[in-house]
Amino acid sequence: MGLIAVWASESFFWSAPMPDLTVAGWFLTWLAYALACAVVLSAVGLTGIRGIRGVFLGGALMGFLIEGVVVDELYLSFPFHLVWTPLAWHALITGVCVFGMARVAPHWPLWRHLLALIGLGLFGATFATFWPSERDSLPPGDVVLFYLAGIGLVVPLGLIVVDRIGQVPRPPLWVALVVPGLALALWVGKTIANPAPIRLVFPIMAGLTLWAMWRLGGAGPVSFGAPGAVRRHLLFPLAPVITAFIAVAIWENVGALEGQAVVALVTVPVSLGWWLWLLWRAARAQPRRAASA
């Protein structure tokens, strides 16, 4: 899960490696995402949330953890960053469009699977067009291709591992609380060092998301879905290959475009509306005990 998340939320977002990226830095980033995914899996296993709602809310929880605990981007440009990127990218793109699509698409007809990958690649290229306005220089095409498609091989690897696991683990409560406890301790430590009231948005947003997961969840184990054919999983790098070739061609021949604005105009209202709608559904849901009676 951490492998899929670090590609979708980092490589796919940044489009090209930052000048200060190192192998050690990449592994530390992967570790942060792996721990965030451990929190999400614990939440999914304990609440029983499933389906596309579980994927979206799980991605949202991961986003609030990464942005609110690890990198502290959640507190910038309030309230825009409450949605961008926790909901608009981590939940909608990483959760639904990458992980969710990659889980179900191998069971679709081949043409539909390829169409979904092409669409994802075109989306990535559209977003990437603005990077020349943000960076003094961008790496050559072969570096971009490796960063997106080469590293993107971790996605089918992660999907194959998920196939082997089959069901979301449901650990004992004390085990499930270890990593969330560490994340909370880190947030508390940072908040003590910088006691800004804006930092309270993290427990509020994460708490509402967890509450919705609990209210909308159910009894019994949660499945990752039916395993897909390995050859179908290995088609995934087609999407980042398309992103790399189109993005580099635009960078070199056109320059910066406003792709990020187009993406934000779509993903921000869609993801915020979806999150609020799930909160509304959670408020109207039957209490867990009544529903299971």
- 42-52 pLDDT, tens per residue? 999 999 999 99
109-137 per-position pLDDT tens digit: 999 999 999 999 999 999 999 999 999 89
61-104 per-position pLDDT tens digit: 999 999 999 999 999 999 999 999 999 999 999 999 999 999 99
Predicted local distance difference test score (pLDDT) of residue 69: 97
Is 291 part of any domain? no
Predicted local distance difference test score (pLDDT) of residue 134: 94
Q: Are 59 and 99 in contact (CB under 8 A)?
A: yes
Residue 92 DSSP code: I
CA angle 228, 229, 230 (to 5 degrees): 110
Instruction: Round the average pLDDT of the chain to a whole number and report it.
Output: 94
Is 110 part of any domain? yes
**What is this structure's pTM?**
0.94
Predicted local distance difference test score (pLDDT) of residue 291: 45
**Is the predicted pLDDT of residue 186 greater than 50, yes or no?**
yes
Is 26 part of any domain? yes
Determine which helix (DSSP H) or strand (DSSP E) holds 247, and give its type and residue range: helix 238-253
Q: Please give the share of the chain, as a percent, with pLDDT higher than 70.
A: 98
Predicted local distance difference test score (pLDDT) of residue 172: 82
**Is the predicted pLDDT of residue 263 greater than 60, yes or no?**
yes
Q: Please give the share of the chain, as a percent, with pLDDT higher than 90.
A: 89
Is 188 part of any domain? yes
Tokens of 272: 């915020």
**Is the predicted pLDDT of residue 4 greater than 90, yes or no?**
yes
Tokens 């069901």 map to which residue?
Answer: 167
- Domain holding 13, by residue range, is 2-283
Predicted local distance difference test score (pLDDT) of residue 176: 84
- pLDDT-derived band of residue 221, with 50, 70 and 90 as boundaries? confident
Which one, of 71, 46, 52, lies nearest residue 211 by Cα? 46
Which one, of 161, 291, 117, 156, lies nearest residue 216 by Cα? 291
Number of domains in the chain: 1
Is 125 part of any domain? yes
Is 290 part of any domain? no
